[in-house]
Chains A and B, each alone.
Chain A
């Protein structure tokens, strides 16, 4: 069982080691890609086997299988453990990760086929590292291992965003992502320190004093806000789109950004003891969903639309977790991973066809690339929550449970966001894929099979994923059965209204209200400007002050002792004449002093 649990991690890790250490293979980009893809597919197979073992009852789905090994041993006691913990939740997540990773890696073979071999080798090396890093987070038996792997996926994110390192924007974007998430991770790390002081361990479940629980849950949630791109720490995610599109699909849509949601699901026994944090979480999620959806409406870059859409959907998940709808949030994570990865891959196919990110450079792509356009539209409809597709089911569960819990404020924000989501996806589909072709589209070419096949696989999952709700619910130890409720009907109606309005506005040329003021306001990026000002006026001077203190006060004190020792030594060296007679005089003088002391002092 331990072997089965570790196999999906160790296979890609072996591929990573091979590519990282054996540079002739890495330099041969195609070979590196083949190895990495093979490892990813094998890992996906291993994860499916593991899920099969969990569902067929070899291990209990809810109790799961756990095995830990002592890690940090000090004074005979173990500070922390590493190991695996496999249950319904982690096995499903592992399947999602490896499945999307395998699809994305195969897709990358086609998408990045024009890249230099050496760069391609580097790209696949980091991709191979990502699977074990994320997998280690998912099967972590305690928060410390989760945090360690959390940082590892952050590293992969940093490296892959900066893949086009020669482009200044990509460099800035990777550094920005690193800074913002690291700022948030300080919260996570402090939370772990408090947890260790309070309980002497890093367990997912621990009963705590309410105040301590609030502090720990609040600090961990800060880390979650950074990783899962919640307002106001979402600013790095749109910039992260500077990375290659498959990277955006895997890390910045499907899996890595969902790590925060996963950690909350796992650590929910901790969060449960901090109702204040859950309340804040619900509102942060709701506000994120709304603000990001508003921002997505005015973007012209297809990847930026999808990035803000990811923020918005993560807001749904976080809001769901805040209301205690664990399974709803987790279900949405799963379905979102499939349809958002599909959307990114579809966007990648469109970008690949016209060599531009702007939706205005596309237009009428459905005639040139009918298959990928069709698959993109399926993904868009799933995201918009059109009944029958996966996004509809998971979103419905979230909204239903929020209404059940009486969280009317966030619920209203989420329903409005559902309309906005449908609206902006319709806008993208109408402008980029329907409508009249632009000049660039005339020269467009279809995607190769390596790009088409992964998209087809994800399309099937984006359609079918929703119907797996009942099975997944029992696997996760709860119920995700679907039934119609007033809230669900309202949300679907709002979604359909969004689609209709978007089609009328962009497809039929109906004039809507201009709202140019709002548009300008959103495009000027108020949150980005706020952080920029904070960084420039607050963080930098503080950091400079600390650096000054470090250099001149702390280092100064240390240096003074060194300087004093040197000067003292220089002063004392004159008595060391090196002449034996002088030393003899000193010895005799000393003896005389003793004699004198004996005679006088007695």
Chain B
């Protein structure tokens, strides 16, 4: 086991993880009906990006990317707040938090 962690993982491993997380998030956004689940999926996608930022920063030895990731996390929190507010308003107006509930824009 120790050999396994003796060397830091290669950059590609982080990128692979980030891509996996992003894809899972994307799938969640498309497939879940519950808007809170969709929000969580969006969080996954955002964090996939954060991992990318941190990984590239470490790889290039430039810490700007890591500090950027911190910014990004803070922004994501704000985004979640707005998203949850939308969910609450959706519930008030449609008595449901399903993403398919509002259909007013159907042609």
Contact B30–A584 (Cβ < 8 Å)? yes
Report Cα–Cα, A573/B100, bound state, in Å: 18
A209 within 8 A of partner (CB): no
Contact A581–B106 (Cβ < 8 Å)? no
A513 within 8 A of partner (CB): no
Partner of A578, one of B26, B38, B103: B103
Contact A579–B107 (Cβ < 8 Å)? no
Report Cα–Cα, A209/B15, bound state, in Å: 87
B4 within 8 A of partner (CB): no
Report Cα–Cα, A580/B35, bound state, in Å: 11
Contact B107–A581 (Cβ < 8 Å)? no
Contact A580–B107 (Cβ < 8 Å)? no
Contact B29–A584 (Cβ < 8 Å)? yes
B89 to chain A, nearest CB (A): 14
B105 within 8 A of partner (CB): yes
Contact A576–B105 (Cβ < 8 Å)? yes
A56 within 8 A of partner (CB): no
B19 within 8 A of partner (CB): no
Given the complex, which residues of B lie within 8 Å of A584, measured CB to CB? 29-30
Contact B104–A581 (Cβ < 8 Å)? no
B99 within 8 A of partner (CB): yes
Report Cα–Cα, A159/B32, bound state, in Å: 78
B97 to chain A, nearest CB (A): 13
Given the complex, which residues of A lie within 8 Å of B104, measured CB to CB? 578
Given the complex, which residues of A lie within 8 Å of B106, measured CB to CB? 576-579
Report Cα–Cα, A575/B106, bound state, in Å: 9
Contact B105–A578 (Cβ < 8 Å)? yes
Contact A578–B99 (Cβ < 8 Å)? no
Given the complex, which residues of A lie within 8 Å of B100, measured CB to CB? 579, 581
Return the chain A residue nearest B38 by Cβ.
A581
A429 to chain B, nearest CB (A): 86
Contact string against B for A residues 569-590, beta-carbon threshold 8 Å, 1 for contact and 0 otherwise: 0001111111111001100100
Contact B30–A576 (Cβ < 8 Å)? no
Contact B107–A578 (Cβ < 8 Å)? yes
Report Cα–Cα, A315/B26, bound state, in Å: 95
Contact B30–A585 (Cβ < 8 Å)? yes
B88 to chain A, nearest CB (A): 16
Contact B30–A581 (Cβ < 8 Å)? yes
Given the complex, which residues of A lie within 8 Å of B29, measured CB to CB? 581, 584
Contact B30–A573 (Cβ < 8 Å)? no
Given the complex, which residues of A lie within 8 Å of B26, measured CB to CB? 588
Report Cα–Cα, A576/B38, bound state, in Å: 21
A137 to chain B, nearest CB (A): 61
Contact B30–A579 (Cβ < 8 Å)? no
Contact string against B for A residues 549-580, beta-carbon threshold 8 Å, 1 for contact and 0 otherwise: 00000000000000000000000111111111
Given the complex, which residues of A lie within 8 Å of B103, measured CB to CB? 577-579
A428 to chain B, nearest CB (A): 81
Name the interface residues of B2-49: CB closer than 8 Å to any CB of A. Answer: 26, 29-30, 38
Contact string against B for A residues 150-167, beta-carbon threshold 8 Å, 1 for contact and 0 otherwise: 000000000000000000
Report Cα–Cα, A572/B106, bound state, in Å: 12
Contact B107–A576 (Cβ < 8 Å)? yes
Contact A580–B99 (Cβ < 8 Å)? yes
Given the complex, which residues of B lie within 8 Å of A588, measured CB to CB? 26
Report Cα–Cα, A325/B4, bound state, in Å: 125
A576 to chain B, nearest CB (A): 3
Given the complex, which residues of B lie within 8 Å of A579, measured CB to CB? 99-100, 103, 106
Given contacts A581-B30, A585-B30, A588-B26, contact A573 B99 (CB under 8 A): no
A101 to chain B, nearest CB (A): 68
A463 to chain B, nearest CB (A): 87
Contact string against A for B residues 74-105, beta-carbon threshold 8 Å, 1 for contact and 0 otherwise: 00000000000000000000000001101111
Report Cα–Cα, A584/B106, bound state, in Å: 15
Given the complex, which residues of B lie within 8 Å of A576, measured CB to CB? 105-107
Name the interface residues of A160-183: CB closer than 8 Å to any CB of B. Answer: none
B103 to chain A, nearest CB (A): 4
A296 to chain B, nearest CB (A): 76
Given the complex, which residues of B lie within 8 Å of A577, measured CB to CB? 103, 106-107
A599 to chain B, nearest CB (A): 15
A590 to chain B, nearest CB (A): 14
Report Cα–Cα, A449/B67, bound state, in Å: 113
Report Cα–Cα, A584/B99, bound state, in Å: 12
B69 to chain A, nearest CB (A): 22
Contact string against B for A residues 342-381, beta-carbon threshold 8 Å, 1 for contact and 0 otherwise: 0000000000000000000000000000000000000000
Return the chain B residue nearest A579 by Cβ.
B100
B79 to chain A, nearest CB (A): 15
A125 to chain B, nearest CB (A): 58
Report Cα–Cα, A584/B41, bound state, in Å: 13
Partner of B102, one of A572, A573, A578, A585: A578
A580 to chain B, nearest CB (A): 6
Given the complex, which residues of B lie within 8 Å of A580, measured CB to CB? 99, 102
Report Cα–Cα, A408/B26, bound state, in Å: 104
Report Cα–Cα, A34/B75, bound state, in Å: 89
Name the interface residues of B52-66: CB closer than 8 Å to any CB of A. Answer: none
A435 to chain B, nearest CB (A): 90
Given contacts A581-B30, A585-B30, A588-B26, contact A575 B99 (CB under 8 A): no
Interface pairs A-B: 5 shortest CB-CB: A576-B107, A578-B106, A573-B107, A578-B105, A578-B103
Q: Could you list some 7 contacts between A and B, CB below 8 A?
A: A573-B107, A577-B107, A581-B29, A581-B30, A584-B29, A584-B30, A585-B30
Instruction: Supply 7 further A-B pairs (C-beta < 8 A) apart from A573-B107, A588-B26.
Output: A576-B106, A576-B107, A578-B102, A578-B105, A579-B99, A581-B38, A581-B100
Binding site for B on A (CB under 8 A): 572-581, 584-585, 588
